[in-house]
Structure 1
Amino acid sequence: MLVTSRKRLAAYEEVFLPVAALPPEHSVDLFVRLSGRPADSLDHAVLAELVGLCGYLPLGVSLLAARLRHHPSWSAEDLRARLVAARDRLGELRAGERAVAATFDLSYRDLAPERQRFFQRLGFYPGTDLDAYAGAALGSVSVAAAREQLDALYDAHLIDEHPGSRYRLHDLLRDYARGLADEGGTMEQVQAVQHVCTYYLAALAVANGHILRSGAAAPAPPGVAAQVETPPMESRTAALGWLENERANVLACIRRANNLALHELVIRMAAAMAPFLRQAGPWPSTSRWDSRSSMGRSSTGWTPIRAEGGVRL
């Protein structure tokens, strides 16, 4: 007997086979077979980009290949150009009445209203992966509640689980969640980014307390520590480990805050990350932001830039 489900099955099955994203080379092979085109007539580099834009999701690859098959006048490059230019990437991943977004809808509609709202907030997260602490800040809930929500979304195949109790949205699911949340207007995104940046400021203050000499750590803004829960960091080693894991996510939050003109948060977060970046680098890839989204870098990796109010970053 074969049993399928949109939710993860917790029973003791003889054989359990999750359907996950395909490896890139398998995605290309699937696309070629379903497109009905000779393999030697298709540019492999274009195909690699197409399946990458599908996130290597089998359903997305098959629907995109079906579109090429049903449009004999299109080339693979034509299809790639449409997908790259589309503001609604999910809208392009359809064939007839079948669509990736419709499949996501089936799982999303089964969620309780508070879980739907939490999922929407995840779409605004600027980083690549998150833990329950960042999830709690995004959803304006406790860490315990965030863990429960994340576990439920994982069971519903709406997020992926990664080592270290971390979670990540598939690229297409991130687009889907963001599309749902955008219905609430720009302020919803601004508030979500403000909340997660506030969390990172509080956590950075704790981490800096371990890596800087006594009295040198810049405290979090007044009231921030009381608003959020921060992960336990009881030693310098733990603080450095947390900073290394979160480095890309913090820098992504700084970029998003800058794009949303949240300049005070940009300055505070850049200053809070400076002690770690001075020690860890890498200097050549260190970027600086000002209020006009410009970046500067010297041969050593740093160029002072004057932001609003004459503050040098």
Structure 2
Amino acid sequence: MSRLRDAAGRAVAGAGASVYVVSGPPGCGKTTLALKAAADLAETFPDGCFVVDLHGVESPMDSGEALLRLLKSLGVTEYRLAQLDASGRAGLLRSLLSSRRCLVVLDNARDEGQVRPLLPAGGRSLVLVTSRRPLSGLEDVDRLALSGLAQAEAVDLLRRILGAQRADAEAGAVAEVAELCGRLPLALRVAGNWLTVRSGWSVDHLVQRLADEERRLGALTAGDVQVEAAFELSYRQLTGQAARMLRLLSVVPSPDMTAAYGAALSGTGVFEAEDVMAELVEAGLLQATFTGRYQLHDLLRLFARARLQEEGVAEREAADERLREWLLDTAMAAGRCFKDGPPSTWQGLVPLASAEQARSWLVSETAAWFAALHGAAARGEHVRVAETAEALDVLCGVWDGWGRWSEVYRLSSEAAAALGDLRREAFHLNNYAWTLGYEGRYREAIDRADQALECARRAGDTAQQAWALIMATSPHKQLGEFQAFLDKSRMAMDLAEDAGDHKNWLVSMQSYRAALRDSGRVEESMALHEPLMALLEAPDSPMSQDMTDHVRARAICGLGRDYAALGRWREAAEHFRSGLLHVQRVGIPYAESSMLLDLAEVLIKLEETEEARSCLLRILSFGETAKSHDVAIAQTILESLPAE
């Protein structure tokens, strides 16, 4: 209303566009808004307010008929109208609207061609056009796209319909009704009317009726007002391709999507899918966002899903399979790209030319591929579930703040168990243990690590045995079980050494050093630094240069922690700075954030506050590429520092 009032003020002053297009999906309140504006703005337009229903969705009015009605309302005589052809009548309407101050509402327009002859070229009148389509072919117009209400607004609308006393008595149920209606004004009005007529029924009773997705649209009926019927009118106007696309999009499990989803579901290219989805946007059945993604309203999703089910179970299952296969294949390719570099033979629907593109896709499409993983697990697609989780293990380490990784590795460890592959089961159980420990579920983490150890022993896999022991160390430490922390670290180190497993020896050595340090045996921890560095610098070291640099940086920082434990702050700071130089050469922000945090805490001890502040701000600058735990601590410390 505020935007339309401003438009009216500019129009009357001759300082703005004289046409405003209000568009949006069925039931979003376009007509209600336009009529409210006409009532509120009547005094601004003293030469008259006129409303023409163009019946654009069904039995559209011919633009010539609309011209005649408007011209007669503006006082043009039958005699003069008889002397003019269609072009002359359109010119006369433009002339009259330009010379007068009128407000015209052209409600429910079908397309640009229907309204073009009815629009002024300028002047001080304002024409409001409502349409399910954005009418993007019209030039020199202002636009307002409507969608659902905010949750608070939706609740307020129901509260106004029901009355404050009744609504407040079941406030929680009212909020649920608003959600189940998708905050769509038409659905909210139908639900409110339904409760008003059935005054003896509770709001919770309506919640129960709407909770059944298959019956929800049918339940949103009050007299001759039906939400489903409003959708049906637009659906019938679609081409066959667009109608099929709408049905297929109903299986997408995420709140929004890209054109690649449409391409995967329809078996076409991305550009072809964009063209078809553009028709759905034009029809007001799909919303295009400013980020280049598309949104399908919850109630429209139910409408489209019902139409898909009408085609039979086989078609729905085929659509599910196409989408699930594409999502998990892309997730695996992105995970491997993030881990090993861009795949040279990738021909998918989304670009994966860099690790950053791979990470971006995995993060932005999390809801969809995670749902697809659940779907694959439910269908017993064990190999696909295990392979997807294996491809994502590096991302798990650097995107640790997601909070659903434990579920990923629960599913994959169950899949590996179902395959009867003990080595694979040990690998996934170890990842499961790591994610549980990160989430603070320490006892569960120890149980899964112990389970992984047993699987690895039965499989004869010493690397996974060592890894299982390492996965249990931090949870033991967090639970105050320091002897178990120390013992399992030492067992992992000895196991890796006996097997000649240099990588796990290095990892377990650093865990063992931390256990010694936490047990007050700092000198023993420091004594292990030299043999660790010797292995890293050996000419026949099997480690890659990047891995060597990373482990060297962590080892140097470990020595810094030893000095910090002894209160030798200056020496600790020097080692943290040295470790940072090594890890910065490799470029691993999540490792750098931990070292910056160590350095900042020591600098605060040395009262070198400004350098400490700089370290903490750098951690925050990493955003999601830093460990979320480090970011949270850095933010807390920053807030405790004295102002600059």
User: TM-score, normalized by length of structure 2?
Assistant: 0.42
Matched, 1:79 2:206: yes
Match of 1:161 among 288, 295, 299: 288
| Corresponding residue of 2:236 | 109
Q: Does 1:125 align with 2:244?
A: no
> CA separation in 2, counterparts of 1:225 and 1:197?
18
| Letter aligned with residue 243 of structure 2 | Q
Q: Cα deviations across residues 273-302 of structure 1 (Å, max 9, x unaligned)?
A: 3332233133753203246xxxx9653267
Deviations 1:76-96 (A, max 9, x none): 122222222564111111111
Deviation per residue, 1:118-165 (Å, 9 max, x gap): 111101112232111121001111111101111111111111223432
Gaps of 5+ in 1: 307-313
Alpha-carbon distance in structure 1 between the residues aligned to 2:232 and 2:158: 24
Q: 1:253 aligns with which of 360, 363, 372?
A: 372
1:108 positional shift: 0.7
Distance 1:241 1:225 in 2: 17
Q: State yes or no: 1:9 paired with 2:135.
A: yes
Provide the rounded CA distance (Å) in 2 between the counterparts of 1:209 and 1:255.
20
Q: Is the 8 A contact 1:125 1:138 kept in 2?
A: no
Q: Distance in 2 between matches of 1:18 and 1:192?
A: 31
| 1:52-85 C-alpha deviation (Å, 9 max, x unpaired) | 1101000000000000011021121222222225
**Larger Cα-atom Rg:** 2
- C-alpha distance 285-120 of structure 1, shift in aligned 2 (>3 A): same
In the alignment, which residue of structure 2 is the partner of 1:213?
Answer: 340
2:218, 2:228 within 8 Å by CA — same for their partners in 1? yes
Counterpart residue number, 1:278 = 397
Residues 257/97 of structure 1: CA separation in 2 closer, same or farther (3 Å cut): farther
In 2: Cα distance, 1:268 partner to 1:91 partner: 42
Q: One-letter code of the match for 1:243?
A: L
2:178: which partner in 1? 51
Q: CA deviation at 1:42?
A: 3.5
Name the counterpart of 1:65: 192
The count of corresponding residues between Structure 1 and Structure 2 is 295
Match of 1:2, SS state, is strand
1:203 CA displacement: 2.7
1:267 is aligned to 2:411: no
Using the TM superposition, give the Cα deviation of residue 12 of structure 1 relative to its aligned residue in structure 2, in angstroms. 3.8
Please say which of residues 59-68 and 153-162 is displaced more in the overlay: 153-162
Question: In angstroms, what is the RMSD of aligned CA positions?
Answer: 3.0
- Counting only pairs closer than 5 Å after superposition, residues 133-282 of structure 1 correspond to structure 2 as 133-213=260-340, 229-282=348-401
2:221 counterpart (91, 94, 110): 94
Q: Distance in 1 between matches of 2:282 and 2:274?
A: 12
Distance in 2 separating the partners of 1:264 and 1:99: 46
Instruction: Give the Å deviation of 1:254.
Output: 1.3
**1:205, CA displacement in angstroms?**
4.5
Do the aligned partners of 1:63 and 1:99 also contact (CA within 8 Å) in 2? Answer: yes
Stretch moving more, 153-162 or 84-93? 84-93
CA distance, structure 2, for counterparts of residue 40 and residue 128 of structure 1? 29
Bigger drift between 4-13 and 108-117 goes to 4-13
How high is the sequence identity, in percent, across the aligned residues? 29
Moved more, 189-198 or 62-71: 189-198
Kept after mapping to 2: 8 A contact 1:83/1:89: yes
* Consecutive unaligned residues in structure 2, runs of 5 or more: 1-103, 107-129, 416-428, 440-444, 453-644
| Cα distance change on mapping 1:210 and 1:260 into 2, 3 Å | closer
